Structure 1
Amino acid sequence: MLPLDTLLAFLAVSIAITFAPGPDNLMVLGQSLARGRMAGFGIAVGCALGCFTHTLWAAIGVSAAIAASPQLFLGLKLAGAAYLAWLGVQALRNASALRPAALAGSGEPWLRYLRRGFIANAINPKVALFFLAFLPQFSRPELGSVALQTVQLGLAFALQTVLVFGTIACAAGAIGRALAKRPAAGAWLDRLAGLIFIGLAIRLATDGRGQ
């Protein structure tokens, strides 16, 4: 078990990182505005599960293999960008001035948003490399298995991700619900979400390797 001071320091840094603007919290923000807080919360839980997946990869060495293979890294990066772009196009196509999405609530199952958040996070190789570099800094080899400590840290990171992103989802969902009371706001919120996804796709596809 990790010492309390180490865990608290890890959580403080993790919360600061999670609040910092990035692809995941922008997805939560965009979907919460366009589709309501439960849609955003689904994305939040999916991203958290994706983070824990990267933790397991780091623990068993998969992330190290990605770091060592430029071809694998590029392939995963392009796959992630393509998936985000597809989500963006779907949001733009579904935009309708007759459907105030955030006011009425999403007609899609909550688990569908969870799946979207999970896939978008889990296939992003830059997140895998971040966990590979970040988690070991808080491991204490003298306390035992570094792999087990990595899993514990990853679980703590995933839990605080749900709390932080859930807060963002609630706040943005309330704003989106208020905006959706205006005529045609639902369509513009969908378009905003679509543009966020497409912007994230372009950023991921064109960004450098970032190692």
Structure 2
Amino acid sequence: MVPTHDLLIFAAACLLMVLTPGPNMIYLISRSICQGRKAGVTSLIGVVAGFFVHMFAAAVGLTAVFLAVPMAYEALKWAGALYLVWMAWQAVKPGARSPFEARELAPDSSSKLVVMGFMTSVLNPKVAVFYLSVFPQFISPEHGSMFTQSMMLGLTQISVSFTVNLLIALFASGIAVWFVRNPLWLAVQRYVMGCVLAALAVRLMLEQRRTV
């Protein structure tokens, strides 16, 4: 079992990931604004289904890697830290675009919305890299089955992402209008997120290698 302290830190990392602009967020916001809340929530069903693909792939693949190549932990640790540094820069770099600047999307049927949400999630590089680099930092052989730990962490990520994305889909229009009227808070949010992501990157760099 993953220790409660580590699970809470991981949940915070998941929250930061879902709040960082990426393909899923931009698609859900655009869909909700252009076609309505129902379309946004329907698309979210597909996005969540895509998360399960990432979770099972990571649970099976990472368990095999940890058992076969112990040094892979170090490689993944540094990959995760560098990825977080990159995410921090994306949040604070000059000219960073707000995800609440919706793209124009034509109306689609419910089935197509689910499929498009699923494909956006499965092909989302932000989610894939998170599972491959940040995810392993919270798994330790001394805490029992690595597959069970992976599933536990995966369900945590899915729960956090679903909750946040559901709120985004339901209130996308109102949030977008609020940020347009209060651009200062958008800048503050970006810099706070960048600092927290950078701090998490430092934590991963200082993490000691875990052994069986």
| TM-score of the superposed pair, with normalisation by structure 2 | 0.57
Tell me the CA shift for residue 42 of structure 1.
Answer: 2.0
Letter in 2 for 1:115: V
State the 4+ residue runs in structure 1 displaced beyond 6 angstroms: none
- Alignment partner, residue 154 of structure 1: 154
Post-superposition CA distance 1:116-157 (Å, at most 9, x none):
111221134553233111211111220111122111111111
1:58 aligns to what?
58
Post-superposition offset of 1:5: 1.6
Given that 1:36 and 1:174 are in contact with CA atoms closer than 8 Å, whether structure 2 keeps it comes out as no
Quick one: distance in 1 between partners of 2:130 and 2:60? 15
Task: Name the SS for the 2:21 alignment partner.
Answer: coil
Partner of 1:21: 21
Structure 1 equivalent of residue 163 of structure 2: 163
- The alignment partner of 1:159 has SS state of helix
| Matched residue, 1:48 | 48
Q: TM-score, normalised by structure 1?
A: 0.57
Q: CA separation in 2, counterparts of 1:25 and 1:54?
A: 17
**Judging changes above 3 Å, is the alpha-carbon distance between structure 1 residues 34 and 163 closer, same or farther for their aligned structure 2 residues?**
same
Q: Which residue of 2 aligns with 1:3?
A: 3
- In the TM superposition, what is the alpha-carbon distance from 1:49 to its structure 2 partner? 2.0
Alignment of 1:101-140 (within 5 A): 108-109=109-110, 111-124=111-124, 127-140=127-140
Aligned to 2:98: none
| 1:138 to 1:60, Cα distance in 2 relative to 1, 3 A | same
* Gap regions ≥5 residues in structure 1: 65-87, 95-105, 177-211
The alignment-based identity, stated in percent, is 34
Give RMSD over aligned pairs.
2.8
Aligned partner of 1:79 in structure 2 is: none
How far, CA to CA, are the matches of 1:113 and 1:147 in structure 2?
32
